[in-house]
Amino acid sequence: MCVFCDIAAGKIPAQKVYEDENYLAFRDINPKAPVHILIIPKKHIEYLSDIDNSNKGTVADMAVIANKIAKKLGIDKSGYRVVINNGPDSGQEVFHLHMHLLGGKRMSFTT
């Protein structure tokens, strides 16, 4: 279906840092920070904009997982950034909902 579905199905290898029945987290292949993890639902959802009242728990679960991973990787005190890209102007490249977890350095881009 897509590259992240293939990772979730174990067809493409990934450096996993977290897994449960419904979610998976693994290291970004092209890290933008010392810690750069992608958190995905195993179920294929293309966009953040596909999130509505029926599935909004997915994003909350992903935030909880991001916090757990930040603690496990020791960036909970130094801080971290989570990013979800949605659509062309965001630069979204993989059309399977994912949350970036970035940390381990001071972020240069401020909003």
Segment lying near ligand AMP (by CB under 6 A), choices 22-30, 44-52, 59-67, 74-82: 22-30
In whole angstroms, the minimum distance from the beta carbon of 52 to ligand AMP comes to: 20
Smaller CB distance to ligand AMP: residue 41 or 53? 41
Query: What is the 3-state composition of the chain as percent helix, strand, coil, each rounded to the nearest 5?
Result: 25, 25, 50
CB 14 within 8 A of CB 7: yes
Q: Which two tokens stand for residue 104?
A: 């381990």
* Residue 98 designated active-site: yes
Could you give the string, one character per residue 87-106, with x where binding to ligand AMP holds by CB under 6 A and - elsewhere?
Answer: ----xxxx------------
The phi and psi torsions of 106 (rounded to 5 degrees) equal -75, 125
Of 36, 44, 96, 98, which is the active-site residue? Answer: 98
DSSP assignment letter at 96: S
Interaction with Zn ion in 39-68: which residues (CB under 5 A)? 44
Q: What number of CA atoms fall less than 13 Å from residue 74's CA on the CB side? A: 3
Pick the binder of ligand AMP from 11, 30, 52, 108 (CB under 6 A): 30
> Which residues belong to the active site?
98
